[in-house]
Every structure is written in structure tokens, then in C-alpha cells.
Amino acid sequence: MAGPAAGEPSVTTPVGRFSAYGYVEAYVAHNFGEPSNGITHARGFDNRHATFSLANAALGGQWEAGPVTARLVGQVGSTPATYYGAEPVLPGTYATNGSGPALWRFLQEAYVAYTAPVGRGLRLSAGLFLSPIGPENLAVHDNPFWSRSNLFFGLPFYHTGAQASYPLTQRLRVTAAVWNGWNSVVDNNTEKSVSLGFTYGEPAVTASLLYFGGVERAAGAPEGSPVRHLVDSHVTWTVAAPLSVFVHANAGGEGGRFGPHLWLAGQAGARLALSSFAAVAGRVDAFRERPARTGAGEASPLFWPVEWVSSVTGTVELRPRGPAALRLEVRRDQAAAPLYFRGAVAGDGSDAAPFVPNATEQTTVTLGVTAWL
């Protein structure tokens, strides 16, 4: 996620090379449970039933001048409104701005990087980055599916901080970083988080192993200030020209006043190209969390208010000539307890009467279209 994809339009200027970047994503979906509130719950970004929706419109680019690189991407739509929902809300004063989702959600990436002449090139960068956790990307066209997995939706989307990256070999790179935390442009405590990751890439195989650790609970949380640990790994293998498969595993936990709080998650899938313009893909995923509990109390859940969630997804993709794709996707979600909506839903969505989940499963069909620079 550090730079533009191959083939992005670019132009050389007197002060460097500029590569444009952007995309538009729109969809319409039908939830077979026909929830009265029109919400496909805990899904992520394809979360509205029976309405045409603009998921995201992103525009920006990357400027390179010698060893210096700057990247800026803005966005608007339901996707950034959803994923910035965990951004800490911090008050301000007459002389200092407050901070929260409304301030940052129109910004997707913003960072500056410098490649120092050390060995094979030490890349130093600072700013707002998309998360390096997992194989999925925020842009739909970079993934084989329209919807993102439960792992992508549960784990962090973005980080603010500084990182250093160095190629140990032509195929192996190490990256170390210091962050405010996960899903926090502005930190909700005074602690900082760290990550250390290794990525490997060759034409047929790409792989990643990453550790992320730090205090993520807000200052003054009942659980105290436990250090949260996360380990993430994934491998994608192109078995043959038309077929690729992937596996992704994630595990983590934290301590705290109520004991150990643990989670374990994984997904696997495959994509088969039927021709130069048609492909099919399938995916299964599961995410289990065990909240900390003692006689003194119970820790609040980190991901969902249920013990586990899972999904099965099937996608058909058509790509006409040019940078555009049409996808038809069927997905079934399940949960350990009512998490989704179906039929007549109690509540009106207000703070006084929130919607009450009344289903342990939901099935949807989605038709989405995306085009990109």
C-alpha cells in the first residue's frame, strides 16, 4: 500500500513525476431478510439493502522527485464514513480544534517519504497510511471480491505514524514502524504502538508476516491499559496462470484487569480466470473472540458483541476492455447470537431506541461496478 499500482497515469513535470490515482465504487444489494431498517449489519461497506449506493469516490496521486515521494488521496462516500467510525472523538477549546470522524473521513492517505542512500535504499516515511495488516486492500478493484472479509472489517483500516522500510534482498523487505495506534489519526491515549513486518514477493508467491503491539484501549478504560498483541500472516500463490489461492491467519490478545482477552481469525479463498475478461472467486472466513471475564467484571468486546462470526462468499467478475469491472456476488453471514437484522426491526436507530439485532444469519446478493485511473 506504499505507492501507486502499475499502470497508473503519470506525467513528468519540471519538478518531478506525478502519478494520478482514483476510483469510483457503486453498488446495489438485496438482503433476503428484507430488514425494515434497510441495513445489512456488520458487513463492512456493502451495508445497505434495496438502494443504489455510492460506496467510495477517491481521487489523488503521488509525486516523486528524486529520493522524495509525497502521496495524497481524498475520498467521499459510505465506505470512509463507516471505517472512520472508530476514530477517537476528542474535544477541543476555543483555540484548539476537536478531533473525530467528521474531521478526517475525507482523507484516505497522506504521507511523505524519503529514500536515504543507505545500502539498497532505506525508505523513511511519515503520515497517514492504509493498514499493512492482511492481504486485502481498501479499493475493490485490488481484491478478487466485492465485499471485504470479516477479518478486514474487524481489524484496523488505517494508522498514523512513521515507518522505516529496507529491502534485505530483491524479494524480501522488512518494515518497522511507530504508530498512534489502530484506527486513530489522533491517539486516544499517550502510549504508542509498534509494528515489525516482513514481506516476500516473486511472480508466483507473495507472503507477509507482521507483528503489531501497543496499548489500544482509551485512557481511563475499565480494562486498564493492557498491551494488545497482534500477529498476522498471509500467503498468495499463483498455482497456474488462471488460478490463484490464498490463506490468511490472524491471532491476538491483551491482558488487563479482567484477565486474558483473545481472538483467532482466518480466511481462505481462490480466484479462477475463465478468460481475459471473466473470472470467478470463492472465500470462507471465520472470526472468534473470547472476551476477558473474572468475578470483577467483563472486558468490552473488541470486534463484535458475539462470540464468533463467519461468512461464505462467491463472486463473478466481468472486466471489459479498460480499467473497469462489474461484479455479481452472493454472500451468507452467520453469527453465534443475533447480530443481523431481518423483517420488522425493533427500535428507530436513535440513541434512545437503537435498532435491536434479531437474526443470526443474513444472505445477500450484490451487483457492484467500479472504474479506476
Q: What is the pLDDT of residues 246-294, one digit of tens each?
A: 999 999 999 988 999 999 999 999 999 999 999 999 999 999 999 988 8
Work out the number of other CB atoms within 10 angstroms of the CB of residue 338: 16
H-run or E-run covering 103: helix 101-104
Look up residue 148 and give its three cell numbers: 471485504
What contacts 95, CB < 8 A, 6 or more positions away? none
Q: Are strands 193-201 and 172-179 parallel, antiparallel or unpaired?
A: antiparallel
The Cα–Cα gap between 369 and 26 comes to 6
How many C-beta atoms surround the C-beta of residue 277 within 10 A?
12
Give the tens place of pLDDT for each residue, 46-59: 999 999 999 999 99
* H or E segment and range at residue 294: strand 293-294
pLDDT digits (tens, 9 = 90+) for 180-228: 999 999 998 999 999 999 999 999 999 999 999 999 998 889 999 999 9
Q: Which of 163, 192, 165 is nearest to 177 (CA)?
A: 163
Question: Could you tell me the domains of the chain?
Answer: 10-372 (2.40.160.10)
* pTM assigned to the model: 0.94
| DSSP codes of every residue in 180-207 | S-SS-SS-SSS--EEEEEEEEE-SSEEE
